[in-house]
Amino acid sequence: MKILVPVKRVIDYNVKVRVRPDGSGVELANVKMSMNPFDEIAMEEAVRLKGKGIASEIIAVSIGTPQARDILRTALAMGADRAILVDATADVNFDIEPLAVARILARLVEREKPDLVIAGKHAIDNDMNATGQMLAGLLGWGQATFASRIEIAQGHAVVTREVDGGLQVIRVALPAVITADLRLNEPRYVSLPNIMKAKKKPLEECPLAALDVDISPRLKVVRTIEPSNRSAGRRVASVDELIDKLKNEAGVL
C-alpha cells in the first residue's frame, strides 16, 4: 500500500510569534521554522504502518517555497521513501490556502495513486483545520479526521476519532484521507545516520505550472494585529483574599 503524507513548513511551535507593527503579517524573517507538529505525527504513523508491513511506500509532499526542502529531508530521515516539493512561491509570507493545497494534492494523488493520505489535523500557523477534509471532498474519498488510532484491515481503515465528549470509532473504505490528532503517536527523533541516508533519497522538485492549479487566494488578508492584551493582574496573599476579590471585586462568585 502506498501512503502519501503532506507536510508543511511552519514557524516552530516554541517560537513566540511577533506581529509586524504595520499590520502586514507576522515576522517570519530569521525565525526558526520546523515541520508542523501534526504532520510529524502523520509521518510517524505512515512509518509505523510500513514497519508493520502494511505500507510499501511512503511519499512525503510539501507545497510552498524551496526552503520546504528542509522539512522534506526530515520526513525522509523519519522514514519516507521519497519526497515531492511543489515549488509554488518564492515568498515565505504567502500562505497558500487549504483549498489550493487540497487541489494540488488532488493532482498528485491522481498521479501517484496512493491508497491512503495521512495529513496532520491542522497547521499551527493558519489554524485552519481544513486541508484533509477538502482533499477528501475533492477526491470523493471517505475521510477520518482527528485520528488517535488507526487500524488497517481488508480495504478499510478503522479509525478512532477524538470528538467532543469522548471518542468515536468509524470504519472508512480505502482509499481515504485520515488526519492525525495529537495523541495518535509519539513521533520519533531523527538520528544522524538517518539524516545522512536521507540525503541520498529522491527529492523531486515539481513546478506549480506542471500541475495546472490556480493558487490565487480566495481570502484577502486585510490586516493582522496583536490580540488585545489583558491588563496585568494582582497577587493575592491568601485563599480568603482570593474569595473576597472574586466575590466583591470581580463579581464572579
Partner 1 sequence: MPVLLLAEVNNAKLASDAVARALSALSPLGERIDVLIMADEGAEAAAEAARLDGVGQVLLAQDGTLAHGLAEPAAALVASLAERYTHIAAPATAFSKNILPRVAALLDVMVISDVTSIRDAETFDRPVYAGNAVQTVTSTDRIKVLGIRTSVFQGVEKGTVAAPVETIAAMPDPGLSTWVEDIVAVSERPDLASARVVVSGGRGVGSREQFDTIIRLADRMGAAVGASRAAVDLGYAPNDWQVGQTGKVVAPDLYVAVGISGAIQHLAGMKDSKIIVAINKDEDAPIFRIADYALVGDLFSIIPELTAKL
- Footprint on residues 22-81 left by partner 1 (CB under 8 A): 26
Site membership for partner 1, residue 230 (CB under 8 A): yes
Distance CA 12, CA 196 (A): 23
Pick 200 or 234: Cβ nearer partner 1? 234
Q: Which stretch binds partner 1 (CB under 8 A): 64-72, 73-81, 169-177, 199-207?
A: 169-177
Q: Which of 159, 165, 153 is nearest to 136 (CA)?
A: 159
For 115, residues 6+ apart whose C-beta sits below 8 A from its C-beta are 1, 2, 3, 174, 175
Task: Determine contact, residues 150/169, Cβ cutoff 8 Å.
Answer: no
Angstrom distance (rounded) from CA 125 to CA 134: 18
The minimum distance between CB 13 and partner 1, in angstroms, equals 7
- The owner of cell 502494511 is 54
Chain residues 85-104 in contact with partner 1, contact rule CB under 8 A: 97-99, 102
Number of Cβ within 10 Å of residue 46's Cβ equals 30
Rounded to the nearest whole angstrom, what is the least distance from the CB of residue 47 to partner 1 in the complex? Answer: 21
Task: Reduce the DSSP state of residue 178 to 3 states and report it.
Answer: strand
CB of 60 to partner 1, least distance (A): 22
What residues numbered 101-130 form the site for partner 1, per CB under 8 A? 102, 121-122, 124-130
Smallest gap from residue 148 Cβ to partner 1 (A): 7
Q: Among 80, 96, 176, 211, which residue sits at the site for partner 1 (rule: CB under 8 A)?
A: 176
Q: Is 93 helix (H, G, I), strand (E, B) or coil?
A: coil
Taking the complex as a whole, the smallest distance from the CB of residue 116 to partner 1 amounts, in Å, to 14
| Burial (0-12, 13-18, 19+ Cβ within 10 Å), 119 | buried
**Between 37 and 79, CB nearer to partner 1:** 37
- Is 214 one of the binding residues for partner 1 (CB under 8 A)? no
Number of residues this chain uses to bind partner 1 (CB under 8 A): 80
For the record, the C-alpha cell of 16 comes out as 513566540
Choose the stretch contacting partner 1; rule: CB under 8 A; options: 1-9, 69-77, 190-198, 219-227: 219-227
Closer to partner 1 by Cβ: residue 53 or 233 = 233
CB of 143 to partner 1, least distance (A): 5
Binding mask 144-163 toward partner 1 (x if CB under 8 A, else -) reads xxx-x---------x-xxxx
Kindly report the CA angle at 205 between 202 and 208, in degrees rounded to 5? 150
Nearest to 120 by CA among 62, 50, 174: 62
